Chain A
Amino acid sequence: MKRYVVTRIATMFVVLMITLLITIVLVGSNMDTILKQGIAFQVRTEITENPSTAQSFSSVEEFEIFIQTQIDQRIKILGLDEPWYSPQRIGIAMYKILLLDFGHATFLTSDLGSSDVKDILFEKLPRTVLLFTTATIIISIIGIFLGALSSSKIGSTIDRITSSFAIISSSFPVWWIGMLMIFLFAFTYQIFPARATPDVPLSDPWYIGSLLYHMALPLITIVMIGFGSWAYMVRNFMIGIMQEDFIMAKKTIGVNQKKIIYTHALKNAAPPIITILALSLSGSLGGAIITEAVFDWPGMGRLYFEAISVMDLPVIIGATYLLTIFFLISIFIADLLYGYFDPRVRTG
């Protein structure tokens, strides 16, 4: 078990580094230009702020040369004179990101006005977690019960409805259903707000209430699309288990069918279900990008989308890093759970 955990952790760390490296390589050259522009801008504002320095020059050329040397000096101090792909700079960038130091965003700010990427990310993250974790939990509860129910009555109406609903709902994109839901319940019948961003300030005591009200429509949509495939999956696990010998034995002894399903079979189906729960929790965070863009939910996904549309690279890097960490942690937990429940995996 120990060796298993250690190799897993090592793999995860390698993956994290590779992800970081790929991200930095992909956005590196753009990042470089943006950083240099930032320094030039900084130097110029500093000089315009104290006019005495500007007045001490006799000609415009002299002034320009002074500014240029200032810029070059700072670039050198920050180590930006080397090309962005030099190992030294990539190393420093990765080290900084590892310590969650993402620098400052170029365009975007948090709701409180901070442009520190860390502030922005940690402001948005709880909202995404709130929406998608709630949704995943509701989905899994409905799914497990519906799945168990339909596996106990294979071929019944409820089983057929569940299976066909699962298959049909899985081929609809969530964001399209989202558009339809907005069309139906925000405009045709004005029940829910169309934009999911709460319209009261953060300090208002009704903020939580408003947040929940705005959350309703995306939540309903995600649950509606998600629970069918969960139920179908649980049903298939259960059917597999119901054919195992120990269940057959219980049946022949004459144990109540309901009791068999809800205690013995469900218990045995637990490991894969828990594993998938862990995976879908993190998977939902990645899928959040499009869903949040449709509903305008002010979380990580929309932040990511906004960052990409204005090419705010520090935010893109930070958000990718955070998403990867979440993804890796949940894969790790899923792996551990699986290894714990099913000892065969550990050696394999």
Chain B
Amino acid sequence: MSNITPQEIKEEFLKNKMGIAGISILIILVAISITAIIVIPVETFQEWNNPKSWITYPKIAIPIWVNMFMIEKIPEHMILEKPNIQNTYQDEIVLTSHQFGFNFNYDDFPDDFIYIFSSEYTGSPLLQMSIIRPDGIKIKLLSTSLPYSNSITIHSEKIFSTDRMIKKNLSLQSEKFKFTLDNLSVEDIVFSKTQINESLKGDYIFSIELYGVKSESQINESKLIIGGKTFGMMGTDELRRDLAIGLLWGTPLALFIGLVVSIASVTIGLLYGVYAGYKGKKTDEVMMRFNDVIYALPALPFLIILSVTISNSIFLMVGFLMIFGWVGIAKVSRSMSLQIKTRGYVDAANMMGQKDSKIILKHIVPQLLPYAFASIAISVPAAITTEAGLSFLGLGDPSFPTWGQILHDANTFGAAARGLWWWIIPPGIMIAITGLAFVFIGSALDVIINPKLKR
């Protein structure tokens, strides 16, 4: 416990495979946290519970990489935001054309397509929508005029593939297909081979043309969404949220909760225990009775009551977790300080008239540091799982969604029953891996501190 120098600990630790594994996982997690903080702005993350900001995303989409293992490729959800823009002026007509090129290489039809735009114009410009397919056939989808206006006006609209006009236009071009178009949805026709109703693979060009007469007209915002069933590295959930963002941002949050709770509770426990042990007699008795009281409080029910009645803010939650965290450490460090107190140099320091606080901080606490580090590492997973558990019960902080909350949502929407594995497995694995990293580090340290276990 006491006769190991930091240098020896370091050497021993680097010899231990578990310790190295733990440290490596931790480094990866820290790297993930830093990337998450840099790449994904906090504002995006705080929009997590705002359905509006996820509207262009697909519902419960499978992760994109699943397609690598599939023979029949599932269509990917595409959000196209950068069209090729061309403006031509001919006599009195101004033509603005936006073209979206994309590659469609899947064995099933897309779910739908949506064109979202806002345009600025006077008069009543004409909007034409058409698609050029890989086989060279051009299909006219829509031709409509925007609402008339005398002055300059901004008009925003969403054109869905379920639009009646599109369906009607398609039935006028039915001679291009060798099968009957009745009862088929628009995307099943547009993306189909001409001979049989199967998806046609290749490069498509989706073009939107806006004709204005004698007037200024332009498209400010232009977005094409080809609806599919796969999206992103981690898929999306029922509320269309990109799970990758939640999982990435969960990492710094979990590390924050785990580390702050364990460091603070170990520090408090250590000082409390050492002080009680060093002082002895009445002080020790009173302090240890108080310790017993906290020890005997049932932690989880109390955490639940505290978060329901006081607040579920993540920072207060950290504080609540600390209340129950320091107790065990205080007990052990008290008994350790009882032993150290009897050593000669402590007596000597005492006789030389050094202050109690100095003796505790200079002579006793440094002896306990290896134990303290091991306890910090070992108590991190408990803090993380407890917080995840509270979030899982729906008592977490909604402004900082954690892994536990993702799992809570998964449970509420019956993800297990519906087979949405990508919603359940990754958050749990992240919790476990984070816990594992600290358990590895902790047990590596433990072996060094308690040489008995080594055999």
Q: Check A319–B301 contact: CB distance below 8 A.
A: yes
Question: Whose C-beta in chain A lies nearest to the C-beta of B421?
Answer: A183
Chain A residues lying within 8 Å of B394, measured Cβ to Cβ, are 309
Question: Whose C-beta in chain A lies nearest to the C-beta of B442?
Answer: A167
B424 at the interface (CB under 8 A from A): yes
B356 at the interface (CB under 8 A from A): no
Chain B residues lying within 8 Å of A26, measured Cβ to Cβ, are 305-306, 309-310
Chain B residues lying within 8 Å of A154, measured Cβ to Cβ, are 455
Contacts A173-B385, A319-B301 known; A239 to B419 CB distance under 8 Å?
no
Query: A-facing mask of B382-421, CB < 8 A → 1, else 0?
Result: 0001001100111100000000000100110001110101
Question: Whose C-beta in chain A lies nearest to the C-beta of B416?
Answer: A183
A234 at the interface (CB under 8 A from B): no
Tell me which of A19, A172, A186, A239 contacts B453 (CB under 8 A). A239
B439 at the interface (CB under 8 A from A): yes
**B 424-453 contacts with A by CB, 8 A:** 424-425, 427-428, 431-436, 439-440, 443, 452-453
Distance of A73 Cα from B402 Cα, bound (Å):
50
Tell me which of A23, A186, A286, A305 contacts B299 (CB under 8 A). A286
Which of A7-15, A44-52, A80-88 lies at the binding interface? A7-15
Q: Check B443–A167 contact: CB distance below 8 A.
A: yes
Contacts A12-B296, A15-B293, A179-B416 known; A23 to B439 CB distance under 8 Å?
no
Question: Whose C-beta in chain A lies nearest to the C-beta of B420?
Answer: A183
Query: B-facing mask of A272-304, CB < 8 A → 1, else 0?
Result: 000000000000001101100110000000001
Contacts A19-B297, A175-B389, A179-B407 known; A304 to B304 CB distance under 8 Å?
yes
A222 to chain B, nearest CB (A): 15
B215 to chain A, nearest CB (A): 59
A68 to chain B, nearest CB (A): 30
Contacts A171-B432, A188-B419, A194-B417 known; A27 to B309 CB distance under 8 Å?
yes
Question: Whose C-beta in chain A lies nearest to the C-beta of B454?
Answer: A239
B291 to chain A, nearest CB (A): 10
Q: Which of A175, A286, A320 is most buried by chain B, counting CB atoms within 10 A of its CB? A: A175
Question: Whose C-beta in chain A lies nearest to the C-beta of B293?
Answer: A15
Distance of A63 Cα from B298 Cα, bound (Å):
49
Count of inter-chain pairs, beta carbons less than 8 A: 142
B308 at the interface (CB under 8 A from A): yes
Q: Check B388–A173 contact: CB distance below 8 A.
A: yes
Tell me which of B295, B421, B455 contacts A239 (CB under 8 A). B455
Question: Whose C-beta in chain A lies nearest to the C-beta of B434?
Answer: A171
B83 to chain A, nearest CB (A): 42
Distance of A308 Cα from B388 Cα, bound (Å):
17
Question: Whose C-beta in chain B lies nearest to the C-beta of A285?
Answer: B298
B292 at the interface (CB under 8 A from A): yes
B42 to chain A, nearest CB (A): 27
**Number of residues in B with C-beta < 8 Å to the partner?**
49
B300 at the interface (CB under 8 A from A): yes
B403 to chain A, nearest CB (A): 9
Contacts A11-B292, A171-B435, A187-B416 known; A327 to B308 CB distance under 8 Å?
no
B336 to chain A, nearest CB (A): 13
B381 at the interface (CB under 8 A from A): yes
Q: Check B300–A168 contact: CB distance below 8 A.
A: no
A235 to chain B, nearest CB (A): 9
B177 at the interface (CB under 8 A from A): no
B302 at the interface (CB under 8 A from A): yes
Tell me which of B308, B393, B417, B440 contacts A293 (CB under 8 A). B393
Chain A residues lying within 8 Å of B388, measured Cβ to Cβ, are 173
B277 to chain A, nearest CB (A): 11
B437 to chain A, nearest CB (A): 9
B132 to chain A, nearest CB (A): 44
Query: B-facing mask of A162-206, CB < 8 A → 1, else 0?
Result: 000001101111011101101100111000001000000000000
Q: Check B393–A290 contact: CB distance below 8 A.
A: yes
Tell me which of A19, A176, A243 contacts B428 (CB under 8 A). A176
- Interface SS of A by simple majority: helix
Q: Check B389–A194 contact: CB distance below 8 A.
A: no
Tell me which of A27, A183, A294 contacts B419 (CB under 8 A). A183
Q: Check B432–A305 contact: CB distance below 8 A.
A: no
A323 at the interface (CB under 8 A from B): yes
A324 at the interface (CB under 8 A from B): yes
Distance of A239 Cα from B297 Cα, bound (Å):
32
Chain B residues lying within 8 Å of A30, measured Cβ to Cβ, are 309
Chain A residues lying within 8 Å of B395, measured Cβ to Cβ, are 308
B289 at the interface (CB under 8 A from A): yes
Q: Check B428–A168 contact: CB distance below 8 A.
A: no
A316 at the interface (CB under 8 A from B): yes
A116 to chain B, nearest CB (A): 21
Q: Check A171–B309 contact: CB distance below 8 A.
A: no
**A 214-253 contacts with B by CB, 8 A:** 236, 239-240, 243
**B 284-321 contacts with A by CB, 8 A:** 289, 292-293, 295-302, 304-306, 308-310
Question: Whose C-beta in chain B lies nearest to the C-beta of A27?
Answer: B309
Chain A residues lying within 8 Å of B302, measured Cβ to Cβ, are 19, 22, 320
Chain A residues lying within 8 Å of B304, measured Cβ to Cβ, are 289, 304, 308
A139 at the interface (CB under 8 A from B): no
Distance of A287 Cα from B299 Cα, bound (Å):
9
Distance of A187 Cα from B425 Cα, bound (Å):
15
Query: B-facing mask of A303-327, CB < 8 A → 1, else 0?
Result: 0110011010000100110011001
Chain B residues lying within 8 Å of A286, measured Cβ to Cβ, are 298-301
16 sampled A-B residue pairs with Cβ under 8 A: A11-B292, A11-B293, A26-B305, A26-B306, A154-B455, A171-B435, A173-B389, A176-B427, A182-B416, A186-B417, A187-B417, A187-B419, A286-B300, A293-B392, A308-B305, A323-B298
Q: State the 4 A-B residue pairs at the shortest beta-carbon distance, nearest first.
A: A171-B435, A176-B428, A183-B416, A15-B296
Sample of 15 further A-B pairs with CB below 8 A, known A12-B296, A167-B440, A324-B297: A15-B292, A15-B296, A19-B296, A23-B305, A167-B436, A171-B436, A172-B435, A175-B392, A180-B416, A289-B300, A289-B393, A290-B393, A305-B393, A309-B394, A324-B301
Which residues of A pack against B, CB within 8 Å? 11-12, 14-15, 18-19, 22-23, 26-27, 30, 154, 167-168, 170-173, 175-177, 179-180, 182-183, 186-188, 194, 236, 239-240, 243, 286-287, 289-290, 293-294, 304-305, 308-309, 311, 316, 319-320, 323-324, 327-328, 331
